[in-house]
C-alpha cells in the first residue's frame, strides 16, 4: 500500500495556512460577503484561504490537479487535491464557530477518484481531524500529538444518535417522511450540520448522519476520516465514497438501516 505520510504532512501545512487566514477575518466587522449564483454566500476569507492553499500546492505539488469550491478545477492527472476553504460559510459570516477548512487528496483508481488523505481543521473550535488510507484516523493538535479515532459500537437504531443539517433538502427530494421516521426511531437527534456530524461519527459520539445534497469538496475529506475510523461513508444509493452528490455516514453496524429509512419515498 502506498505511503501517504508526506502528503498528509503537506495537508497539515495547508490547513495551518488556511487557519491563520480564516481566523484573522472571523468576526471582522468589515468582512465582505457576496452571494454566488446558487444563492449561497461566499466571503473574502473563503477566496483568500483557497488562493493560499492553491499557491502552496502549485509550489509543492505542481503536477497534481486542484479542485476547489471557489475557483473550480485546474490541471489533470491521477492525483487531485480537493478543497473547501470554509465549510460552513453561513456560520462563519454570523460568528458561529462551527466551520472548517476541508482538504483532501484523491487518487484515480478502478472505481474513479477516491480520497486517500483528508484533513478537517476547525480553528474556532480548536479542533483538527485527519486520516490517510491504511493509516487510521486521528484528532489532535499535530501529527505527533494525536488520539486515534474509532466509530461507536451501537448496534440498534433505537439506541443511536442521529445528526443532520436541515429539513428542506429532504423535503425537496421527497424523502422527508423517511427522514422523520428515522428521527422518531432514534434515541437522539441533533442538527449539528456541515462537517461536524461526520467527525463525531468518526469519534464515536454520533452513530449516524446524512445529507441529501452535497458537492465533492463537502465530502472528500470527511469520507476518508470516517472510513479510516472504521465507519462507512456512502451515497444514499449505497455507493461507497464521496462521489454521489449526497452522503450517509455511520459506524457501519447501522448503515443498512440508515439507508433504508432515507430511501423511503411516498
Give the residue ranges of the annotated binding site for Mg(2+).
69, 84, 86-87, 218
Neighbours of 189 (CB within 10 A): 16
Q: Which residues are annotated as a binding site?
A: 69, 84, 86-87, 218
Grid cell in block for residue 153: 459500537
Residue in 98, 71, 65 with CA at minimum distance from that of residue 84: 71
Nearest to residue 140, comparing CAs of 151, 149, 150? 149
Q: Are strands 232-234 and 247-250 parallel, antiparallel or unpaired?
A: antiparallel
Between the CA of residue 92 and those of 32, 99, 101, 114, 227, what are the distances in Å? 12, 6, 11, 28, 27
> CB-based contacts of 181: which residues, under 8 Å, 6+ apart?
261, 264
Identify the CA nearest to 54 among candidates 94, 103, 120, 1.
103
Instruction: Tell me if residue 41 falls in helix, strand or coil.
Output: strand
- CA 240, CA 247: separation in Å to the nearest integer? 10
Nearest to 26 by CA among 104, 130, 101: 101
Burial of 145 (0-12, 13-18, 19+ CB in 10 A): exposed
Please tell me the distance from the alpha carbon of residue 71 to that of residue 55, in angstroms, as a whole number: 12
Amino acid at each position: 500500500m502506498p505511503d501517504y505520510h508526506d502528503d498528509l504532512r503537506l495537508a497539515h501545512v495547508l490547513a495551518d495556512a488556511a487557519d491563520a487566514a480564516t481566523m484573522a477575518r472571523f468576526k471582522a466587522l468589515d468582512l465582505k460577503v457576496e452571494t454566488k449564483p446558487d444563492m449561497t454566500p461566499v466571503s473574502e476569507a473563503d477566496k483568500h484561504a483557497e488562493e493560499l492553499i492553491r499557491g502552496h500546492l502549485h509550489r509543492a505539488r505542481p503536477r497534481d490537479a486542484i479542485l476547489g469550491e471557489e475557483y473550480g478545477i485546474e490541471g489533470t492527472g491521477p492525483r487531485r487535491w480537493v478543497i473547501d476553504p470554509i465549510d460552513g460559510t453561513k456560520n462563519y459570516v454570523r460568528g458561529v464557530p462551527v466551520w472548517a477548512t476541508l482538504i483532501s487528496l484523491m487518487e484515480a483508481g478502478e472505481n474513479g477518484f477516491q480520497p486517500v488523505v483528508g484533513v478537517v481543521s476547525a480553528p474556532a473550535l480548536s479542533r483538527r481531524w485527519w486520516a490517510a488510507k491504511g493509516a487510521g484516523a486521528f484528532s489532535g493538535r499535530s501529527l505527533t500529538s494525536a488520539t486515534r479515532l474509532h466509530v461507536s459500537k451501537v448496534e440498534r437504531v433505537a439506541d443511536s444518535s442521529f445528526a443532520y443539517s436541515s429539513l428542506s433538502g429532504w423535503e425537496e427530494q421527497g424523502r422527508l417522511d423517511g427522514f422523520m421516521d428515522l428521527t422518531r426511531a432514534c434515541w437522539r437527534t441533533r442538527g449539528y450540520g456541515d462537517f461536524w456530524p461526520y467527525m463525531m461519527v468518526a469519534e464515536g459520539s454520533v452513530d449516524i448522519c446524512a445529507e441529501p445534497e452535497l458537492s465533492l469538496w463537502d465530502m472528500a475529506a470527511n469520507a476518508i476520516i470516517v472510513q479510516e475510523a472504521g465507519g462507512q461513508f456512502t451515497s444514499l444509493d449505497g455507493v461507497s465514497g464521496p462521489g454521489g452528490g449526497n452522503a450517509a455516514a455511520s459506524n457501519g453496524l447501522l448503515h443498512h438501516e440508515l439507508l433504508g429509512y432515507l430511501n423511503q419515498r411516498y
